Amino acid sequence: MNCRVCGHSPLSELLVYDNMPSVAQNLPDEGGLRSDRGVDLRICRCEFCGTIQLDNAPVPYYREVIRATGVSEEMRRFRSSQFSEFINRFGLHGKKIIEIGCGSGENLRILKDCDAEPYGLEYSEKSVLAAKSMGLSVYQGFADSSDYKISDTLFDGFYTFSYLEHLPNPAETLKGVYNNLSDGAYGIVEVPNMDMFVKEGVFYEFMLDHLFYFTKDTLCTLLRLSGFDVLSCDIVWHDYIISATVKKNKSLDLSYMEKLREGIISRIDAYIGSREPRSVAVWGASHQAFFIMAMLNEAKNLKYVVDSAKFKQGKYTPVSHVPIVAPDKIATDPVGAIIVMAGSYSNEVVSYIREHFNDGLDISVLRPHGLEIIRKHVVKSIVLTGATGMIGCAIARLALEQGMEVLCVVRKDTRRADNLPKSDKLKIIHADLSEYATLEITGDYDIFYHLAWEETVGVFRDSADAQVKNIQYSLDAVHLAKHLGCKKFIGVGSQAEYGTVTEPLKPETPAIPESSYGITKYTAGKLSRQLCKQLELEFNWVRVLSVYGPMDGAHTLIMYAIRELRAGRSPEFTKCEQVWDYLYCDDAARALLAIGAKGADGKTYPLGSGQRRRLSEYLEALRNVVNPAGVLQFGKKEYYPHQPMYLCADISELTEDTGWRPEVSFEEGVRRVMQY
């Protein structure tokens, strides 16, 4: 026969036991002894997925759960602790959780005392009636197919204990369960531990009731084939049980790619079509470039494709038939614009073009989100205050990678100057904010980034006396920008300027700050804008939301959670019901550099990822990266007064003006923090 899990054949026979019991439940009475017959147990292994299984038909009562452990006090204590940890870990307080194969409701009664809303699914009519007589919500039925529907409600969690091994098609049952769960639902799946049986030589565990004998590996295979991500898989209950914690994964939907393709191709066609015929080149004879060019209506107006690989030069691109040339062709047969399609090498190519070719050459880059216009204003040098902070260091590093000169103004007493990258193109000036007005430095720079601010944490954050001096310091920074020949001043504000909001933040969203810090940031931004007009400087104000990264403060939520989970502790939080928006520091730095080159004069940009998620979901994603077995204790702390419950950015105008979009997912950002 074929494997009951993966469908492959043949099965390899491992053992045969003759004349074994045909049942382990519904035992024969004295009158049934004459008809009782033994069966031959054929124990096999799938050579493809490794699952050990019987080559026998299931027992007649395989759909029913007959449980003796309902009377075990030790098991009651174990389940109570297990349920409480499961609910706390995934924030399932008061949520609907269903047991698949619930018997008479023994476990449901325990779950009911753990602050969840319990439900059950059971095939045995007798057991269902017994459960309902105790006031439990139990449905009669059996999930035998992927389209099985339990009820009109979706469940937030599920569990099934020592049930799947009885079923002839456990994957179909799990897919049926999947069909009745809300997106992102969590579950516990337990089966007897074949690893222990093998290790200890427990040959007497084989029986006809159990068609499957799962190891940790084969159970995880079954769960993944059935649509679940396995968060952890542990051995419990005196080594007899494998217990897997799972999460319903999302069905793969690639329809968004078609919309993305249409938008990108349309924009590239428009970019080429807006210029003189054959005045645009592509850099990169890569498979990405070939794919894109084959779809372009304007490919015929491309002059050539540049690539440094000599074996490609002198050839033509497939389908679009554009000649491939060496980089020096740009000097001898110039174009007005270059579209870089070099995948992970794109930033390196941009730096090379800037270093070796004329300043008037327009550059754009094919990014995952679309076409990013790199060069609108040529930026060769920047001034950076607050340079030793997390965002400041990221700006300095990325600016150097793009070939810019960087002047960093840092506090005299800073201990973090070593965080800055080492480069001949980076200079450091030591000066406190109070010295900006009298600072005697000279130079000729393009963009001034003002990130420095005093008293950003602790009690002084809401002190009017402590905050107000930052307004004058910001105006002093504007004068310093003018003195250094800068063409644009970019001030970094804060989401605190908005106050309490209930919808995504846009440039036109009214700012109604509530804290001294927010009021001072708002005022500094308004007066800086006015002074820039008087001094004929371009101006942008960027209200930054929640940014995280390797040099984030130890007091922040992200760093606290990482620290506790790495140490094997269980961090405590509020209920974390806020809808939030986290952005990795490198993406924030790229956004600020893009605003410097292409931001619309006078505009205020809210800066976040544009991705809205509940704070609890962010923390669960973080836990799954740092320590999948870790426990998050939600609801252990109270919200502080005036806690914002919604903080998300609408980045559509920022993207439209500059082409910037975030590139680092939250999970990848957490990995980078851990690697730092």
CB atoms closer than 10 angstroms to residue 536? 8
Based on the fold, state whether residues 438 and 477 are members of the same structural domain.
yes
| CA separation for the pair 538, 267 (Å, rounded) | 27
372: pLDDT strictly greater than 70: yes
126: pLDDT strictly greater than 70: yes
Beta strand 362-367 with 181-192 is: unpaired
User: To 5 degrees, how large is the angle CA 464–CA 470–CA 473?
Assistant: 155
Contact 525, 478 (CB under 8 A): no
Based on the fold, state whether residues 650 and 539 are members of the same structural domain.
yes
Q: Decide which of 463 and 156 is more confident.
A: 156
Q: Counting runs of H as helices and runs of E as strands, what totals does the chain give? A: 18, 28
Contact 116, 94 (CB under 8 A): yes
Round to the nearest angstrom and report the end-to-end CA distance of the chain. Answer: 52
- For the stretch 395-454, pLDDT in tens is 999 999 999 999 999 999 888 888 899 999 999 999 999 999 999 888 899 999 999 999
Token pair, residue 109, equals 């009664």
Q: Is the dihedral of CA 410, 416, 421, 423 positive or negative?
A: positive
Based on the fold, state whether residues 587 and 465 are members of the same structural domain.
yes
Query: How many structural domains are present in the chain?
Result: 4
Which of 353, 373, 393 marks a domain boundary?
Answer: 373
377: pLDDT strictly greater than 70: no
| CA separation for the pair 127, 32 (Å, rounded) | 24
Query: pLDDT value at position 440?
Result: 87
Contacts of 135 (CB under 8 A, 6+ apart): none
**Residue 3 covered by a domain:** no
Based on the fold, state whether residues 263 and 228 are members of the same structural domain.
no
- Write down the residue that tokens 């700012």 correspond to: 511
Based on the fold, state whether residues 509 and 638 are members of the same structural domain.
yes
Average pLDDT over residues 590-595: 96
**Residue 206 covered by a domain:** yes
With residue 130 as reference, give the H or E element that holds it. Answer: helix 125-133
Query: pLDDT value at position 54?
Result: 96
Query: pLDDT value at position 658?
Result: 87
- The CA distances from residue 260 to 89, 282, 364, in Å, are 36, 20, 18
Based on the fold, state whether residues 37 and 76 are members of the same structural domain.
no
**Residue 64 covered by a domain:** no
- Write down the residue that tokens 């989100």 correspond to: 369
Query: pLDDT value at position 159?
Result: 98
Contact 585, 535 (CB under 8 A): no
Contact 43, 16 (CB under 8 A): yes
Contact 199, 253 (CB under 8 A): no
**Residue 60 covered by a domain:** no
Based on the fold, state whether residues 244 and 261 are members of the same structural domain.
no
For residue 15, what are the β-bridge partners? 43
Greatest Cα-to-Cα distance within the chain, rounded to the nearest angstrom:
107
Instruction: Name the nearest CA neighbour of 433 among 399, 466, 390.
Output: 466
Query: pLDDT value at position 68?
Result: 60
Query: pLDDT value at position 71?
Result: 53
Contact 667, 674 (CB under 8 A): no
Token pair, residue 324, equals 């491939």
- The CA distances from residue 156 to 161, 303, 327, 576, 636, in Å, are 17, 57, 57, 17, 21
| CA separation for the pair 148, 146 (Å, rounded) | 6
The amino acid at 558: I
Token pair, residue 518, equals 């927010």
Which of 318, 352, 373 marks a domain boundary?
Answer: 373
Q: Is the dihedral of CA 549, 554, 558, 563 positive or negative?
A: positive
**Residue 275 covered by a domain:** yes
Beta strand 579-580 with 613-614 is: antiparallel
Contact 631, 88 (CB under 8 A): yes
Q: Return the CATH number at 76.
A: 3.40.50.150
Q: Which domain holds residue 265?
A: 255-373
- For the stretch 348-365, pLDDT in tens is 898 889 888 876 788 889
Cα torsion 29, 30, 34, 40 to 10°: value is 40
**Residue 5 covered by a domain:** no
What's the length of the chain? 676
DSSP 37-81: --EEEEEEEETTT--EEESSPPPTTTTS---SGGG-HHHHHHHHH
Based on the fold, state whether residues 589 and 634 are members of the same structural domain.
yes
Based on the fold, state whether residues 260 and 340 are members of the same structural domain.
yes
- 3-class DSSP string for 166-227: HCCCHHHHHHHHHCCEEEEEEEEEEEECHHHHHHHCCHHHCCCCCCEECCHHHHHHHHHHCC
Which of 217, 248, 279 marks a domain boundary?
Answer: 248
Token pair, residue 179, equals 């069909």
Token pair, residue 392, equals 């400041």
Query: pLDDT value at position 666?
Result: 95
| CA separation for the pair 337, 270 (Å, rounded) | 13
Based on the fold, state whether residues 237 and 301 are members of the same structural domain.
no
**Residue 62 covered by a domain:** no
136: pLDDT strictly greater than 70: yes
- The CA distances from residue 336 to 165, 235, 244, 272, 381, in Å, are 68, 65, 59, 11, 23
Cα torsion 40, 46, 52, 53 to 10°: value is -40
Contacts of 505 (CB under 8 A, 6+ apart): 495, 498, 543, 545, 606, 608, 647, 648, 649, 650
Query: pLDDT value at position 169?
Result: 96
Beta strand 117-122 with 96-100 is: parallel
568: pLDDT strictly greater than 80: yes
Query: pLDDT value at position 66?
Result: 85
| CA separation for the pair 400, 421 (Å, rounded) | 9
Based on the fold, state whether residues 456 and 354 are members of the same structural domain.
no
Based on the fold, state whether residues 154 and 266 are members of the same structural domain.
no
**Residue 109 covered by a domain:** yes
CB atoms closer than 10 angstroms to residue 22? 17
Token pair, residue 73, equals 């006090």
- For the stretch 53-101, pLDDT in tens is 999 999 999 999 987 645 578 888 999 999 999 998 898 999 999 999 9
| CA separation for the pair 21, 33 (Å, rounded) | 12
Contacts of 3 (CB under 8 A, 6+ apart): 9, 11, 46, 48, 49, 51, 53
376: pLDDT strictly greater than 80: no
223: pLDDT strictly greater than 80: yes
Q: Return the CATH number at 534.
A: 3.40.50.720
Average pLDDT over residues 624-628: 94
- For the stretch 312-351, pLDDT in tens is 999 999 999 999 999 999 999 999 999 999 988 888 898 8
Query: pLDDT value at position 152?
Result: 93
Query: pLDDT value at position 656?
Result: 83
pLDDT-based confidence at residue 375 (cuts at 50, 70, 90): low
